[in-house]
Amino acid sequence: MVPRHLIDPWYRAIFVRRSVRAYDGRPVGREAIGEIRELLDGFSPLCEGARAVLLEEGAQEILSGTVGSIGKIQGAGAVVVFIADKSHPQWQAAAGYLGEGIILHATSLGLGTCWVAGTYKRSEARRRIALSVSESIVAVTPLGRPAAAESAGAQVIRAVAGSHNRKPLETLTRGVAADQWRLGCREALEAARLAPSAANRQPWQFGVMPDRVVVRASGPGLMPVVPNRLDCGIVMLHLEVGARAHGLEGSWTFLQRPLVAEYVFEPAGDP
Ligand SMILES: Cc1cc2nc3c(=O)[nH]c(=O)nc-3n(C[C@H](O)[C@H](O)[C@H](O)COP(=O)(O)O)c2cc1C
């Protein structure tokens, strides 16, 4: 579970986070770097199977895009590389959960971020990091102060992905009628709905019961680059933060495919 003191800042960050692809070129401050470093090896048992590395050198080489200037991220002061241990059964969800925690924390510090799983130079990241045989780089994020204006390429990506659009809650939820949802459950689901996903596919569904929410992966995924369960790890973090920001404490259990995990609420206290 996310440490209690991080719930409120991360909840607020959910509503201001967006993918930032143009930065002002300045280095990231020491204090922010220090805070982010504390999260790199994980902040919860759910992060097991993933880790992250923060690089203050070489951000531009890693983020220089794939084809010409498509996907190019400009002016980032640092980069965080997300690594999964593929021998761990939950590596995809763990990488999403860990990565989004780091991204929301950076957002809470006023930094811009952007999940990047496709449009970066993997070989440049690989060259700078020692990986074990079962580890693989799954994505990166730039870190830095957002620039005043976005490049034309970034605007194209944002428009193609329809980045601001989110599916309505009604199409994402199954299970009991909304009037039987526990207090705080709607807010938790709204926070989940705002989660970023590769190409903004939002490949998740929520089975809502009076005592739990079941997260299920839906759709074909963006394989081989981004498995749906990576996106689902991201949405799990948003769901938990949203629930706990509204007093809905609970615990996670991983489930068999195509289900991902369920968040079971603690029993309601006496009114
Ligand atoms: C796992 C993952 C991989 C992504 N990969 C890329 C990428 O390779 N290049 C890119 O420009 N954006 C990438 N994105 C950013 C998404 O396009 C973006 O999150 C989505 O359109 C929603 O927009 P928002 O983050 O501004 O809310 C990725 C996002 C996620 C979650």
Q: 131 pLDDT exceeds 60?
A: yes
For ligand 1, atom 13, the nearest C-alpha belongs to 116
For ligand 1, atom 31, the nearest C-alpha belongs to 197
Q: Where are the domains of the chain?
A: 4-160, 169-265
What pLDDT score does 64 carry?
86
Q: What does residue 253 show for φ and ψ, rounded to 5 degrees?
A: -135, 130
ipTM, two decimals, is 0.99
For residue 226, the ligand 1 atom closest to its alpha carbon is: 1
CATH class of the domain at 4-160: alpha beta
pLDDT digits (tens, 9 = 90+) for 70-91: 567 999 999 999 999 999 999 9
For a mutational test of ligand 1's pocket, the pick from 67, 73, 114, i.e. the residue with the most ligand atoms closer than 8 A to its C-beta, is 114
For residue 118, the ligand 1 atom closest to its alpha carbon is: 8
pLDDT digits (tens, 9 = 90+) for 139-198: 999 999 999 877 666 667 767 767 779 999 999 999 999 999 999 999 999 999 999 999
What pLDDT score does 215 carry?
98
For ligand 1, atom 10, the nearest C-alpha belongs to 116
For residue 96, the ligand 1 atom closest to its alpha carbon is: 1
In the DSSP assignment, the letter for residue 114 is: -
Residue with tokens 């993997």: 122
Architecture category of domain 169-265 in CATH:
3-Layer(aba) Sandwich (3.40)
What pLDDT score does 153 carry?
67
Report the Cα 186 to chain-centroid distance in Å: 20
For ligand 1, atom 19, the nearest C-alpha belongs to 196
pLDDT band per the 50, 70, 90 thresholds, residue 69? low
For ligand 1, atom 29, the nearest C-alpha belongs to 198
Interatomic CA distance for residues 243 and 267, integer angstroms: 14
**Residue 146: CB within 6 Å of ligand 1?**
no
Is residue 245 a contact partner of residue 239, using CB atoms and an 8 Å limit?
no
**Residue 69: CB within 6 Å of ligand 1?**
no
> In what side-by-side order are the strands of the sheet with 250-254?
173-175, 204-209, 212-217, 259-265, 250-254
What pLDDT score does 68 carry?
55
pLDDT digits (tens, 9 = 90+) for 217-258: 997 766 666 789 999 999 999 999 999 999 999 999 999 988
Q: 49 pLDDT exceeds 90?
A: yes
Domain 4-160 and domain 169-265 have a common topology: yes
CA dihedral sign, ordered 192, 246, 258, 168: negative
Residue type, 224: P
**Residue 156: CB within 6 Å of ligand 1?**
no
Is residue 56 a contact partner of residue 78, using CB atoms and an 8 Å limit?
yes
Between 49-63, 86-100, 223-237, the lowest mean confidence (pLDDT) is in 223-237
